[in-house]
Amino acid sequence: MIIDDKMVRSTLFEAVEETMRIIISHLKVDFEITGKKVERTEIFEYPLDAIREIVLNYIIHRDYTSPVDNQIKIFDQKIVFFNPRKLYSDLTIEQLKTDSFPSRTRNKLIAEAFYLTGDIEKYGSGYQRIRKAIQDYPTMTFNYEESGDGYMVTVEYSQQKQSTEAPQEINDAVKAQEKAHEGVHLLNPTEQAILKALKDGYKSSKQLLEAFGYKSKTGNFNRAIAHLLDIQYIQMTQPENPKSINQAYRLNADKFSEK
């Protein structure tokens, strides 16, 4: 059932803002009141920074010789972005999965204009920022593929984020560990998400990466695993080559209850 249909026709800069307004108007928002402050915290269904980066890529890199419209479809738990024409030049999907790939653009002057206005930080860094933004959304995935004569990006999730805090069971276990050992270990969102995923039954690096929507290890993931091993929050159960994605881990039973 289609409940809304919008067409955006404007200058490119205005198109970015209008597209974002339309998307946001259709997103679900959760409200968190923790008691730490009077104001409520709005938790959008998707990280807006990531969605904006996708929209910027979508507008900057489209093939303007194509008569086919850009298309965005918003479903209950996913958003699909379609761009006419495949990736430009020799850029490949496999390269996009890395944090370092050669910048390619079919619209050099458009990209330069958005760079000069500060809308993009540097060429070829948008997907890195998207991956970083969705790390705070543990069940969210970011996928992209060439489809027919076009290019399609999908952002979806299995469970809507409802809190800006780490899962309560992880928070409780961390607090108990810190009290017992009189040490304070600050965990970043990636480390919190890894602990939650291990508690939910994920074990191998491959499973953890799939839970985060990654196809291969990233610097953030490697640093998070190394830190959790160093502070003994997790244990390695299947030693492998350090670059392997078949390594397996578990919560340290001495520090976390499996009940």
pLDDT of residue 207: 83
Give the Cα separation of 100 and 193 in Å (integer): 24
The secondary structure of 157-220 as a DSSP string is: ESS----SSPPHHHHHHHHHHHHHHT------HHHHHHHHHHHTT--BHHHHHHHHT-SS--HH
| Whether 255 contacts 232, CB under 8 Å | yes
Tell me the β-bridge partners of 83: 151
Mean pLDDT of the chain: 81
pLDDT at 181: 47
73-110 tens-digit pLDDT: 999 999 999 999 888 888 888 888 887 777 778 899 99
Burial status of residue 129 (CB atoms within 10 A of its CB: 0-12, 13-18, 19 or more): middle
The confidence score (pLDDT) of residue 70 equals 94
Q: Enumerate residue ranges in the chain where pLDDT < 50.
A: 37-38, 181-184, 258-259
Query: Which domains occur in the chain, in start order?
Result: 12-157 (3.30.565.60), 168-251 (1.10.10.10)
| pLDDT for the residue numbered 236 | 86
pLDDT at 52: 93
Give me the amino acid identity at 223: R
Query: What does pTM read for this prediction?
Result: 0.61
Q: By the 8 A CB rule, do 155 and 134 touch?
A: yes
The upper half-sphere exposure of residue 176, i.e. CA atoms within 13 Å in the direction of its Cβ, equals: 12
Percent of the chain with pLDDT over 90: 32
Q: How far apart are the first and last CA of the chain?
A: 43
Q: Which two tokens stand for residue 93?
A: 């999907």
Q: Please, where are the H alpha helices in the chain?
A: 12-25, 48-60, 93-96, 108-116, 126-133, 168-181, 189-199, 205-212, 219-230
Instruction: Give pLDDT, residue 125.
Output: 75
